[in-house]
A and B are shown apart, each in its own frame.
Chain A
Amino acid sequence: MSDDLINIKVNQKEIQVDKNLTVMQACEIAGEEIPRFCYHDKLSIAGNCRMCLVEIEKAPKLVSSCTMPLMEGMSIITNSEKVNAGRKGVMEFLLINHPLDCPICDQGGECDLQDQAMYYGFDKSRYKENKRAVDNKNMGPLVNTIMTRCIHCTRCVRFATEVAGVPELGMLGRGENAEITTYLEQSITSELSGNVIDLCPVGALTSKPYQFKARPWELKRTDSIDIFDSVGSNIRVDSRAEEILRVTPRTNEYINEEWISDKVRFNYDGYYQQRIDTPYIKENQKLSISNWEQSLKVLKDKLKTLKPLALIGEHVDLETGYAIKKFMSNYGKDNVECRTDNHAILESLDSYRFNTPLNDIENSDLIILVGTNPKVETPIINHKIFKAYNNDAKVFNIGENLSLNYKTEYLGESLSSLNNENLIKALKKSTNPLIIIGSAFLNKIKNIKTLKSIFSYADKYKVITKEKNNLNFLNPYASRVGQLIIGNTTNNLCEPFSNLKKDNFELVLSFGSEHIANEQFTNCFKVYFGHHGDDGAMGSDIVLPTPLYTEKNGTFVNIEGRPQEAKKCHNPIGSAKEEWSILKKLSDELSFDFNPNTFDQLRSELFDKHPILSDYHEIIAVENSTSITPDIEFEDCKAEYPVSNFYMSDVISKNSVTMAKCVEEIISTPSLLEKSA
């Protein structure tokens, strides 16, 4: 028997479990469900709800199982009369002050308290006293509070402190006067604040935009992927008829754990604002409503004579990308570009993806942020860095001096700060260093030698070893890694967009890329495939409506190189058509080769060509590339961060009313503190 295992009994059933577990965890392994409110896997143990009482043989009283460590030979009983009576007593206490407003409560139907009261609650109250009433607190534009319902489990307080890293929530007072609030009722400033809604076991913290919208059993649930940053958080899209009513996280321990960013959780109202619902054609400098037949005819004629260039935007799925590549191959090479932000890469996959598996970030003891602001670009990765920071990792920052929710040591604004003495000293001491190179520098690199030097640097200081590769490249766009894998880019490693030979192209096809409006394409005929009316659409000659990611199936490869599927939730708005079917139709009329007749055929052709993409949920394996230069030399480039405003980083969130409120109340409004100063 291993030292770490001990023998215990749960309801007379003998099991062997790790000795470091708690009684509650052991009971779960034994298959016994323990009711709880305050305990949560991802948070510290509070032990204040008392709902998880169990009987332990030889213990005089019931014990709370979440706080109780295991001991050799312990015999736990979870189903006795005594346990039941104890839990019923706790439930009765919890309900003393809980209002009976389930019929008007947003949590109704998915409420822990409601569910557990079905088992342990009495059918009537023995209390004649008045229930206490608590003033509602302001927590910002996202979290709605009805504090009378609060049972003081403090999950939200622990989440804010331990996960979000913004110690702004707390419990004031004590006993009957206890109240949960933010400091001086200011808005929560975290990008992960929406998760307190899921954590709250009752209806005290609910979603403001979803308030009084639907009951959980009315909703159709669709599994999807967060495409508003590159992390690829797993989400569940809840819709009724043709409308998305809310977005919640799906647990994926490898990526987002149980959290998602506020952007994907709340920007869904932007899905239906400013939508392009019908084709448009420019006549007399003005876009006017057209139809598919007419617009495709014009486009077909142009495609017969003009040489096209395709630009790929930040929300384009792999299948669409593949169809674009297939179509554009009829016009030669180097005419598709997804790196419209001048993202510098080497050929290999490990030069543009996050090479450390996301759930390994927390094991690092030294993290260097180089030209990236993970807090606004990828809040989930920021949370993982925060975890590492709490495990005593040191964090260095190069670029702008950022204000993050953990302490960083600022080294300077240029790449050459990598040679800083303090940093080198720390690197030599570190056992598991990790570097994150962000778009702020990657988009500015003019000489590929700089990128190679970064590899040599990582090699020199054991960031890359045989076993691991901790040199990471972070860009905030969901489409980027996947599009690069299927080769939707031109052959310039640095400044691919600036280096496009503009004279070679007379027609620009933009798939959701606003860069079509750039000056360099003034003389080209411009066609915009997209779902939202943005600058790209305004400046185009033909605008074709395409579905949003929730309106079609699609594959996205996340930043660590993990293909995942976003599923169709409802039909496209207006007369939008999927990009591949438009290209198929054009190909047929131009008598190009385009075999797939259905989306599934297109997908299987993609997987045949790129078998590494077909393994959903697994990280694509690659060998570490050996692009090492003998001398390390960094060019001087000024960091320019791709995302400055978390709540409005893309066309969809720019159209979201909720996101606009966030900007107004969280970013623009100075906190009460600053006001007084």
Chain B
Amino acid sequence: MSSNHPGLSNNFSRSGEKFSWSKDNLRSIKNIISKYPKGREQSAVMPLLYLAQEQNNNWISIECIETIAETLNMPKIRVTEVASFYSMYNTRPVGENLIQICRTSPCWLRGSNKITKTICKETKCEINDTSDDNKFTVVEVECLGACSNGPMIQINNDFFEDLDEESTKIIIDNIKEGKPNVIGSQKGRRSSENA
């Protein structure tokens, strides 16, 4: 496994499977493109990359890039440039649950290091790695914008805040066992009200 962040790699790979838009996505694409002036359809490249990533198990394959280029009638290299520029487009396959651990100062001051250690131990994978069962990919990221509820992590599309080692372990265990998790603060706070 390569050891860099899956969103920051410039090397794209093929999935080996044809990528074509799902029916729902085709509808959304039409809607997205209509937001831009005529002749400027290429501006829709970012939302389309996002849709493609969602549909393609959370990563952008070369097939995705080619489909997007075709949809928007733009050169493939231009799509590749955008996909490689932003770290939130993963350029290689990731596990079912992409765990992003915030390590910026506020979270770090509140002990994000310990959270990282716990997650690595529980998921049995290193930072930037994917676990053997393909359940988890763990990455460290900069500020995710929930500073007052630090330390926090993001798993796929959900935030988990006010973590400590114990609650982190519970979250991971629940995922392993397929049980639902409480999203947001793990201390029962609503939003970022006073603790």
Contact = CB atoms under 8 A, between A and B. Distances in A.
A31 interface: no
B78 A170 contact: yes
Contacts of A167: 75, 77-78
Interface in A136-173: 161, 167-173
Classify the secondary structure of B's interface with A.
helix
A184 B63 CA distance: 12
Given A183-B80, A184-B62, A172 B10 contact: yes
Given A170-B78, A173-B84, 14 more contacts: A167-B75, A167-B77, A168-B75, A169-B77, A172-B80, A172-B81, A172-B84, A172-B85, A173-B85, A174-B84, A174-B85, A177-B8, A179-B10, A182-B77
A172 B10 CA distance: 6
A170 B80 contact: yes
A177 B75 contact: no
Nearest to A179: B10
Nearest to B85: A174
Q: How large is the interface on A (under 10, 10 to 19, 20 to 34, 35 or more residues)?
A: 10 to 19
A207 B44 CA distance: 38
A676 interface: yes
A676 B77 contact: no
B169 interface: no
A472 to B, nearest CB: 30
A167 B80 CA distance: 12
Contact of A177 (B10, B76, B80): B10
Given A167-B75, A168-B75, A184-B62, A173 B10 contact: yes
Interface string B75-105: 1111011001100000000000000000000
A170 B62 contact: no
Contacts of B76: 183
B85 to A, nearest CB: 5
Interface in A166-195: 167-174, 177, 179, 181-184
B59 to A, nearest CB: 16
A179 B62 CA distance: 18
24 contacts: A167-B75, A167-B77, A167-B78, A168-B75, A169-B77, A170-B78, A170-B80, A170-B81, A171-B81, A172-B10, A172-B80, A172-B84, A173-B8, A173-B85, A174-B84, A174-B85, A177-B8, A179-B10, A181-B10, A182-B77, A183-B75, A183-B76, A184-B12, A676-B14
Contacts of A169: 77
A179 B81 CA distance: 10
A406 to B, nearest CB: 13
Nearest to B65: A183
A170 B77 contact: yes
A170 B77 CA distance: 6
Contacts of B66: 673
Interface of B: 8, 10, 12, 14, 62, 66, 75-78, 80-81, 84-85
Contacts of A161: 75
Contacts of A184: 12, 62
A161 B66 CA distance: 18
B69 to A, nearest CB: 10
Interface centre among B77, B78, B81, B84 (most CB of A within 10 A): B77
A426 to B, nearest CB: 20
Nearest to B5: A177
Interface in A544-564: none
User: Quick one: which of A168, A171, A179, A673 has the most chain B CB within 10 A?
Assistant: A171
Contacts of A182: 77
A583 to B, nearest CB: 54
A183 B81 CA distance: 10
Contacts of A181: 10
A218 B77 CA distance: 39
Contacts of B10: 172-173, 177, 179, 181
Contacts of B75: 161, 167-168, 183
A174 B8 CA distance: 9
B193 to A, nearest CB: 37
A676 B12 CA distance: 15
Nearest to B83: A172
B7 to A, nearest CB: 10
Interface in A352-371: none
Contacts of A170: 77-78, 80-81
A174 B7 CA distance: 11
A164 to B, nearest CB: 12
A170 B78 CA distance: 7
Contacts of B81: 170-172
- From A161, A173, A179, A673, name the one whose CB has the most chain B CB atoms within 10 angstroms: A173
A267 B84 CA distance: 37
A359 B75 CA distance: 28
Contacts of B78: 167, 170
A230 to B, nearest CB: 31
A552 to B, nearest CB: 45
B70 to A, nearest CB: 11
Contacts of B84: 172-174
Which of A161, A172, A177, A181 has the most chain B CB within a 10 Å cutoff? A172
A377 B130 CA distance: 53
A425 B62 CA distance: 42
Contacts of B12: 184
A167 B69 CA distance: 12
Interface string A79-101: 00000000000000000000000
A177 B66 CA distance: 23
Interface in A492-548: none
B46 to A, nearest CB: 15
A183 B77 CA distance: 5
Nearest to B69: A183
Contacts of B8: 173, 177
A173 B5 CA distance: 12
A170 B81 CA distance: 7
Contacts of A183: 75-77, 80
B101 to A, nearest CB: 21
A287 B118 CA distance: 85
